[in-house]
Every structure is written in C-alpha cells, then in structure tokens.
Amino acid sequence: MSTTDPSVHCDCRSKILRNVRIGAAVAFLCALVLSTRDLGAAGTTVCAALAGLALGVYGVATMLDETATFPRWLYAGMAMTGGALAVYHAATLFT
C-alpha cells in the first residue's frame, strides 16, 4: 500500500458516519425551528415529517458508528421513533 493512499491515514467510514450524524442533527434542528413559524397546517406537517426523518437517520447512523456513547438499543429506538413520526406525519399530509 502506498503512503499517499488515504485509507492509510484516515478511517473514512468513521468520518462519513460523523458527517451524516452532523447533517441529520442540523436538519432536525432546522425542521424544529421552521415548525415554530406560521407555515400553515401543511407546512407544519412537512416540518414534523422532516424532523422525524432526520431523527431516524441520526439514530441509524449512530447505531452503525463504533464510537457511539450510549447502547445501540437506544439509537435503534431513536431510529424507529423518528421513522414512525415521519411516516405518521407524511400519512396525515396525504389524507
């Protein structure tokens, strides 16, 4: 292996998971802030669905991360809760 090979110097999987976690946390916070604005019923529902989706993505990404602080079952619960919220709010949007 060459010394210029990036896999020699970094753990790319860990960096990708960290970036996904950061992006999901930012998306979650943005969706929460937007849900406090007067966007109408549809806008609030979309923001709630996006917040649930971001929570689900964060849970899955953290569950796959080997440096996670808490037990994996906690992040699995977070992922399932976020997914359920996203599905619920998406379903109420289209019904």
- How many H helices and E strands in the chain? 4, 0
pLDDT value of residue 88: 96
Residue range 33-57, pLDDT digits in tens:
998 888 888 899 999 999 999 999 9
Q: Is 34 exposed, middle or buried (0-12, 13-18, 19+ CB in 10 A)?
A: middle
Domain regions of the chain by residue span = 10-94
Q: What is the pLDDT along the chain (95 residues), one digit of tens a residue?
A: 455 565 566 778 888 999 999 999 999 999 999 988 888 888 999 999 999 999 999 999 999 988 888 999 999 999 999 999 999 999 998 88
